[in-house]
Amino acid sequence: MYSYMRFLMFTTVLMLVTGCASGVLTVIPRSGGSLVPATFEQGTGECRVSLTLPTGESMKGRLTWIPPGGSMSVALLTTQNNMASGTAMSSGNTGMYIGSLVGENSTTMRIELLCNTWTMNCVGVGQTSSGIVYDIQK
């Protein structure tokens, strides 16, 4: 039983760390306008993102995965003739990706994505060094 729990916890952590699969991001200027072409690639504990701003500037960077915090609970139950103990860990279900992209013309974009750790669907925001805000979905 204990080894099964360790395996399950290891598998869950591994899935969270490598949870970013390759694909397309939906990046939309908050002020309106066209969809910004953007892609991401899987990494261990990170996503590498590439996008092209409406100005034509290409940007690349890395978003680092920040897993949800967890807390360990330990309980000891005693009855008249028996004693039992148990442990549990609550990891929550929300983690985030955070990082910056840098463009070929030195424009930067700070990105923060809040993610559901079970579905790995994410929503968030990116803001360029010139102040333009983008809504982002993964």
Percentage of the residues of the chain whose pLDDT score is greater than 70: 70
| d(C-alpha 97, C-alpha 29), whole Å | 19
Query: Model's pTM, two decimal places?
Result: 0.70
Helix-, strand-, coil-residue percentages of the chain, each rounded to 5:
10, 55, 35
**pLDDT digit string (tens) for 60-86?**
999 998 888 765 555 555 556 666 555
Q: How many domains does the chain have?
A: 1
Please report which residue ranges of the chain form alpha helices under DSSP H. 2-17
Please list, residue by residue across 88-127, b when 16 or more beta carbons sit within 10 angstroms of its beta carbon and e when fewer do: eeebeeebbbebebebeeebebebbbebebeeeebebebe
Q: What is the domain extent for residue 36? A: 2-137
